[in-house]
Structures are given as C-alpha cells and as structure tokens.
Structure 1
Amino acid sequence: MQQKMVIDEITLECGETLKQVEIAYEACGILNKDKTNAILVCHALTGDARAVGDEKTPGWWEGLIGPGRYIDTNQYFVVTSNVLGGCAGTTGPASVNPETGQPYGTDFPVVTIRDMVKLQYLMVRKLGINKLLAIIGGSMGGMQVYEWAVMYPEMAHLIIPIATSTRLSAVAIAYNDVGRQAILCDPEWKNGNYYPGKGPVNGLSIARMLGMITYRTAELFEYRFGRRLKDERDVTHFDSTFNIESYLRYQGQKLVNRFDANSYLYLLKAMDSHDIGRGRGGIEAALERIQARVLSIAISNDLLYPADHQEEVVKMLRAAGKEVEYHFVESIYGHDGFLVEFVKIGPLVEQFIEKYYSSTFTQSAAPR
C-alpha cells in the first residue's frame, strides 16, 4: 500500500538542510510482533516506491516480490521508498520549496546516494524498525544497498546487491553524460526552471533512448527486432522506420509521461558521484565496516555494471573475513536482467533470506 511520511529535516552531504521532507513509500505484508521480518527494497534510476503494486497496477519487481513469490509478503514485511531527489512522491526538484512557494528546479541541492540512504534510514526508524532482516536492490538500488551496509552496519542482517557496483565506472559516467547533454541542450530545459511547463521532453526522451540501448544487449535487439521495418514502406523512403527505432522512441515517450527531467539529471549526478570508498580511505577500508551477510548477484553482458567489478568486491569482502555468496547469472537481457530474470534470480534470493530467517527467528517469525 502506498503511503507518505514527512521527515522534519535532513542535512545533506553538500551541507544544505532540507526541511519538511516528504517520502513516498510502499509497505506490503505485516510486520511481526518482534519486528524481525522487515525487508527494505531500493529502486533503480527511474524506479519508484511501487515495487510490488497491486492487481490493477503491478509493481516493477512484482515478479520477485508479493504473496507467494520469492520474497513472500505473506511472511515478510516489505518496504520500498521513492528516493530523495525523485519525482514520484518524495521531495525533489519538482517539489515546492517551502521558503519560496515555488518549485525548487535547479535550486534543489545536490543529493548523493548517501543522502538517499540517510533519508531511508530516518524512515525505517520512524516505522519503529531497529534492524532490517534484509536490504535488496539492483543497479542504482544496489548502490544504496552497499551504502546502507557501510553507513549503518548494525541495521541489517543481510544485504543483496544485484547488477551494481561500489562505484560507477568511467564508461557508465560517459553514457550518463550523453543523456545529460541531451536534456541540457533542449531549449525547453530553461536552466531547470520550466515548471509548470512540460520541460525538455525531447531531451529526456533521447536520454531514455540512449539508456535503453545500454540496459540491454546487441544479441537481444537482433533477436527481437533485427532489420525488420515497422510498416510496408520501402527502406529507401526517408521516413521508413525500423522496429528497433519505433521501440526506442516508444520507450522515450513512455518515460516522459511519468518522469521529471530535473530529477533525471539529479539522480544521474548521484550515480556518477557514487563511490563507497570516497572519504573513507578507499573501497577496501569501507568494506571492512560491513557486518551483514552478503549475496552478490552479477548479470552476464552487463554493459554498465560488469560482473568483474562485483567479483573484485567479493574478493575484497572475503579477504576481510566477511560472509559473502556470489552468483553469476547468464542473461540475454544484459543489465536489465535484474528486472526480468526472476526464475534465475528469485530462488537465489529466496534461499538466502529463508535460510537465515528460519534458523535465526523461528520463534518470532509468525506475523501478528
């Protein structure tokens, strides 16, 4: 069920303080008497709090989470929140600045992955949860998972980072900047002060089209679209359209209808700046702080978050004496595999959580 909470204030890494911060979240299942069955879900770049959804509007991870699913909401209390800087109910650039009565636009302060996690922490504590059973997320959500484990090591028994990294690679930053420039070069961006107008819809659409190319694989595109045309026009016509072109344009328009361009820019910046070793003496020193058991899942052919990076982190964790389980999942979908390959990923997640939960909380597992 979608809900909203207000946090009185939060001080960000940049030094600025936001007051009366709204945070939209979804809570599914029942928190047991001892509050030992809570799982936090962290979403990716254009995700939101609706991970599970309902029959009318399924969530973006409903293939993984729900009644009778791999993360069973009949057994676990699952919470997902929209990130700080987002545009689906949580305070972000499109929100009204209480000091001016106008949308923040680019006056909104720079946010980081750590700021997102800090707000989630305040939400979790306000829900009365002192320790989470597990924290799970893929892509940008996985970045949040790692930050949770480093910032609040005592707050989770298990963490499950999927298709992600402890810092963004140069090539991923490069792709992000091309998408960013598409938005900034759209004359309708107006330096971020386009409200109440639609804003740079063409730029945002192109940014999304580029993103879709990086999320999936050449093999999948060839299989699904090849060189097939959308209509009967001869390929020599100037306005003939290939199916792959039509697909990308559709995805671009689809995002424009539900996402704010400024939020897209702010979240890209948060991803670019993400590095759990920043200011902590490096990645290895940061990983030393982790107390939770780790399930790391990498996806084959992931252009943005290559498996070898996760394997490197797994080696660091093992060298530090941490309990870590690693799996490499083959997928034609590439990075988007974490949103699609439920049959492959689901059992790994289910077994990892259930094994720990049943052996540790057998007496207090039953919901009220």
Structure 2
Amino acid sequence: MVHVDALPPSGSPSVISVGDVETEAGVCIPDVHLCVYAFYDAATPLNERPVLLIEHALTGDGNVADWWPEMIGPGKPLDTERFLILCANVLGGCQGSTGPSSRHPDGKAWGSRFPAISIRDTVTAEKALMDVLGIDRIHAVIGASMGGARALEWTLMYPEIIVSALPIAVSARASAWQIGMQSSQIRFIEADPHWQGGDYYDSDSSPAEGMGQARRIAHLTYRGELEIDERFGTDPQHNENPYGPYRSSSERFAVESYLDRQADKLKERFDAGSYVVLTDALNRHDVGRGRGGMNAALAKSTVPTMVAGVDTDILYPWHQQEHLSRNLGNFVGLSQITSPTGHDGFLIETRQMGLIVQKFLRKADQLAQDPLD
C-alpha cells in the first residue's frame, strides 16, 4: 500500500532517504537520497490509483511538468486525474539526489570519490525508493533516452512488480559509436583545468568551458541533420562575419551561436561532475552483461513492452528500436515518431508522442486486468 504521508504535494519535490546502495561493481554508497516529484489531481484516493513511473533523460530531472508539459496534467496522456505519477531525479544527478556534488559523510563534497555507476545501479536506487513509498506494483514505466535504458532495466531486474513498459529512443546496449561520442564529451570536461580531477566543488571555479564543449557535441546528436541545415545553413550570425580574412571565434556562423546558447544554458543548471558520472553510466548500458548477451537477455523479458523511436534519430537510430522489437520476449508494439528534429523528437513532437502514450496505456489497462504471476 502506498505510504501516502511520504508523498510530496502534487507537483512538488521531496528528498527521501532510501538507505545504502551497493553498486554493480561492489561499492557501497551510504545513505542515498533521491529527489522525487509526485503528480496527481482530483479526489480519487492515491492508494486506488495505478502508478506510472516516468524516467527522465540525461540532463532532465524529476519535474516532468517542466520538460514534458504537454504530456502531463488533467485529461492529458499522463492523466493526473487518474494516475499517481512519480519521477525521481536519478542517482548521480544534481537536482536533489545523491551525486558527486552531494555531501560525503565527512562533510565535504563527494567529488572524485563518487563511484562509477551503471544504469542498473540507478534502478536499484529507484526500487529502494519504491520500497520506502510502499509501492509494490507499477502500472507502467515510461522513459526516453537514458530514461528508456532505465525502463528496460526495470523490466529485467524487477519484472514481478512491472505491469508494462514503454522505452523510447533507446537501444539494448550502448553502441561503439555512442560510447565514442559520449566519452569524447567526458574528455572535454576532464581536460578543463578547473576540473581538478573532479574535486572542484570547494573551489571558486568549475569546469564550465569543458562542460560547454561537451554540450555542443551532445546537442548535435540530439537534433536532426536536415533540421539544423534548414534552420541555419551557412548563414553568418547577425552582425558577425565568419568569411573575413582571418578566423576569429567572435565571428561565427549562426549554428555556432545556437550551440553556444545551448552550452551556456546547460552550464547554468547542471553540474559537470554529474554529467560525467551519468554519461559514463550510459556508456556502460548493456542489458546483456552477465545475462548471456543482449539478445538472450531480451528474449527472457516477461514484461509486456512497447517500443517507440524517432525516424531521424542519429544518437539512438531507428534500427536499434527495430532490434528491440525483434528480440524482446514479450513485445507488444512498435511506434515511430516522424520528425526532422532527431532524437529530441520525443520532447518536441508532443502530439505524436501523446498518441503513442495513450495507445500504450490502453494496452497497459488490458494487461492489468490479469494478475501478475
């Protein structure tokens, strides 16, 4: 039974202790806290509501209403009048959950002492959170990108409590191309002289420049090539001239200015240490590790799973979602978002995404009529 008194008010966060978490690699993180948001409206008792667990992407957080506003609310696909919707900031994050910027038991920041974590470790922490909240049945787990990786791991680690799952824009494991792109981002941050080996928290500086360079690379993988070219082409930034006799970083193409703005926005709201830890966790994503390989692991999946992806995604290409559809042991459907915007299509194409979620939840309702084994 849901411990209603432990839930925050709808739309608000609560930082909850989930106890010690031992990582897949054998390191104990003591007294882990996760920052969780709950969303619900109307008078239906919370104990009578199906629980939806939403998993955010790499630089997201638990506030679904902030990054998926068209999807959540009364009468919307994630209907707050019907469901109890939960979303927790991931272990290793920087929005209230335990991560590198958090206080170590000795009072200083964890910094470089924060262990490497895997996607499985983040799910272990979330399961501990569900235990604290008294939740032993999850109607559906829905996540995209890194959230999709967590959704897949939920179905393999704790199938006994998951009724259904919708992983979006993700793969069964990190590809070599993804690891190459993501490790290059990590290298930019670590090469920043203000990184200080990850122990910059008690200094007056942070590796903001390295973080910005990492974001520039990442953002290009989040968007579609055709969309970027159509928006910017070879146009100069207003009042700048990249065609002058000498190159200057202050004379930019329009696309450079766009990437600079994206870098600046992330530097203001996200911690570089968390970016490194979570990007490394994405590099470690592999549902087949220790399970006989990814196809064998997928084949053993018993949780009914629908898969969705974006046709122009270059970070998690459509063929990776097709691979999931061919190999999942309890596959119930494949849906494609058509968009020029690439990977971020799951955030931008809200009408298409909403239709997919509604179709998925109708299927979840049918599945929930049969008791879990």
Normalised by the length of structure 2, the TM-score is 0.90
Contact 2:62/2:89 (8 A) holds in 1 = yes
Please give the secondary structure, in 2, of the residue aligned with 1:145: helix
**Structure 1 Cα separation of the partners of residues 146 and 262 of structure 2:** 19
Provide the residue aligned with 2:60 in structure 1.
Answer: 47
Q: Does 1:66 align with 2:112?
A: no
What's the offset of the Cα at 1:20?
Answer: 1.4
Distance 1:273 1:158 in 2: 24
Q: Is 1:37 paired with 2:44?
A: no
| 3-state SS, counterpart of residue 345 of structure 2 | helix
- Pick the aligned partner of 1:90 from 78, 86, 97: 97
Cα distance in structure 2, aligned partners of 1:38 and 1:357: 12
> In the TM superposition, what whole-angstrom CA distance separates every residue of 1:213-238 from its partner, at most 9, and x where no partner exists?
11111211112222222223444344
Q: Is 1:134 equivalent to 2:140 in the alignment?
A: yes
For residues 233-270 of structure 1, give each alpha carbon's deviation from its aligned partner in whole angstroms, at most 9, with x where no partner exists: 44434432222111100110111111111111111111
Question: Is 2:354 the partner of 1:346?
Answer: yes
User: What pairs with 1:239-278 in structure 2 (closer than 5 Å)?
Assistant: 239-278=250-289
Counterpart secondary structure, 1:311? helix
Deviation sequence 1:8-37 (CA, Å, 0-9, x none): 211111211122111001000167465451
Tell me if structure 1 keeps the 8 A contact 2:101–2:271: yes
Q: Is the 8 A contact 1:201 1:256 kept in 2?
A: yes
Secondary structure class of the residue paired with 1:137:
strand
**Residues 14-29 of structure 1: pairs in structure 2 closer than 5 A:** 14-29=25-40
Cα 1:33–1:335 shift into 2, 3 Å: closer
Point out the more displaced range, 32-41 or 151-160: 32-41
* Alpha-carbon offset, residue 125 of structure 1: 2.0
1:184 aligns with 2:195: no
CA–CA separation in structure 2 for the residues paired with 1:169 and 1:74: 40
Q: Provide the residue aligned with 1:201 in structure 2.
A: 208
Q: Give, as a single letter, the amino acid of the residue that structure 2 aligns with 1:223.
A: E
Structure 1 spans left out of the alignment, 5+ residues: 53-58, 363-368
Percentage identity across paired residues of the two chains: 36
Residue of structure 2 in register with 1:102 after alignment: 108
- Counterpart CA distance in 1 for 2:46 and 2:222 is 41
1:240 counterpart SS class:
coil
Q: Does the 8 Å CA contact 1:131/1:157 hold for their aligned counterparts?
A: yes
Matched with 2:344 is 336
The corresponding residue for 2:15 is 4
| In structure 2, C-alpha distance between the alignment counterparts of 1:194 and 1:231, rounded to whole Å | 36
Q: Say whether the 8 Å CA contact 2:162–2:303 is kept in structure 1.
A: yes
Corresponding pairs, count: 352
Task: Go from structure 1 to structure 2 and tell me whether the alpha carbon gap of 1:211 and 1:121 turns closer, same or farther (over 3 Å shift).
Answer: same
Displacement of 1:359 in angstroms is: 7.5
- 1:309–1:62 distance in 2 versus 1, CA, 3 Å: same
1:262 to 1:233, Cα distance in 2 relative to 1, 3 A: closer
TM-score, normalization by structure 1: 0.91
The alpha carbon displacement at 1:129 in A equals 1.2
Task: Supply the distance in 2 between the matched residues of 1:153 and 1:77 (Cα, whole angstroms).
Answer: 20
2:303 to 292, 297, 318: 292
Distance 2:48 2:133 in 1: 10
Match of 1:228 in 2: 235
Which residue number in structure 2 is paired with residue 314 of structure 1?
325
Tell me by how many angstroms 1:2 deviates.
1.1
Structure 1 Cα separation of the partners of residues 325 and 225 of structure 2: 28
RMSD over equivalenced CA pairs, Å:
1.7
Question: Which stretch shifts more, 83-92 or 189-198?
Answer: 189-198
Q: Distance in 1 between matches of 2:217 and 2:195?
A: 18
Q: CA separation in 2, counterparts of 1:89 and 1:225? A: 37
Larger mean Cα displacement after TM superposition, 136-145 or 16-25 = 16-25
Q: Assess if the C-alpha contact under 8 Å between 1:149 and 1:289 holds in 2.
A: no
Q: Distance in 2 between matches of 1:166 and 1:139?
A: 11
- SS of 2:301's equivalent? coil
Whether contact under 8 Å (1:7, 1:19) holds in the other structure is: no
Aligned counterpart, 1:111: 117
Q: SS of 2:269's equivalent?
A: coil
Q: Are residues 228 and 331 of structure 1, via their aligned partners in 2, closer, same or farther at CA, if it must alter by over 3 Å?
A: same
Q: Distance in 2 between matches of 1:295 and 1:314?
A: 8
**Cα distance in structure 1, aligned partners of 2:300 and 2:242:** 58
Return the alpha-carbon distance in structure 1 between the equivalents of residues 15 and 145 of structure 2: 24
How much has 1:358 moved relative to structure 2?
A: 6.5
Question: Which residue type is aligned with residue 42 of structure 1?
Answer: E
In the aligned structure 2, how far is the partner of 1:260 from the partner of 1:33?
34
Q: Could you tell me how far 1:142 is from its partner in structure 2?
A: 0.3
Query: Structure 2: which 5+ runs fail to align?
Result: 1-11
